[in-house]
Chain A
Amino acid sequence: GNSVTQMEGPVTLSEEAFLTINCTYTATGYPSLFWYVQYPGEGLQLLLKATKADDKGSNKGFEATYRKETTSFHLEKGSVQVSDSAVYFCALASKTSYDKVIFGPGTSLSVIP
């Protein structure tokens, strides 16, 4: 079945450091890929998405490129801020499964000043 694997946390970075959170997926067909973010005490928010191979999703300085050949969707940001501290979930949705979202386990990021 469809599944998502992402790097384990927690990840701790200094402010302005470069961020990469790795994500790989297994899916039949051509899923859409997402990164969701959950800030402390808040609900899930869609951070960015990509719906086909080689698409690049971007938002708030975060980027991720849909790599079909490596079945990956790694999240990157060039310079993290303290306000980026949150849990990040890689996810996929497939039209063969009514678009229900399959989430990875989440990666907790802490950015220290």
Chain B
Amino acid sequence: DTGVSQNPRHKITKRGQNVTFRCDPISEHNRLYWYRQTLGQGPEFLTYFQNEAQLEKSRLLSDRFSAERPKGSFSTLEIQRTEQGDSAMYLCASSLPDRGYEQYFGPGTRLTVT
């Protein structure tokens, strides 16, 4: 299967700990997006990469959040000093440059902060 993959699928952490998630996009896709989905809500945009460049960040992405895509392939999303309000599903999506509207989503990483 060559779809978008995310690891881990589930993460339980204690408040105050740091966590890092990984996203591997579809290989020929140079655009990569991160979204966050809380229970009963639609996903909300967090940040966007074109190749290795981070082009936009939502104001939802506080200073505790950082995302990287160092070689323009996989991406990581780190949350420092986690809070209970960070508990959510973190979704990654990728697309071709000329078809940015057609995004393919990964299965998500479900974060639970206790």
Which residues of A are at the interface with B, using a C-beta cutoff of 8 A?
4, 32, 34, 36, 42-46, 49, 51, 89, 91, 93, 95, 97-106
Contacts and interface: CB of A to CB of B under 8 A. Distances in A.
Interface of B: 31, 33, 35, 40-45, 48, 50, 55-56, 91, 93, 95, 100-108
Contacts of B93: 101
Given A43-B91, A43-B108, A103 B101 contact: no
- Provide the main secondary structure of the chain A interface: strand
Given A43-B108, A99-B95, A106 B100 contact: no
A36 to B, nearest CB: 8
A98 B97 CA distance: 10
Given A44-B91, A106-B41, A98 B107 contact: no
B105 A43 contact: yes
- Provide the main secondary structure of the chain B interface: strand
11 contacts: A43-B107, A46-B102, A49-B102, A89-B42, A89-B43, A91-B42, A95-B101, A97-B56, A101-B43, A101-B101, A106-B41
Contact of B101 (A36, A43, A49): A49
Nearest to A89: B42
A98 B100 CA distance: 7
Contacts of A43: 91, 105-108
A44 B105 contact: yes
B90 to A, nearest CB: 12
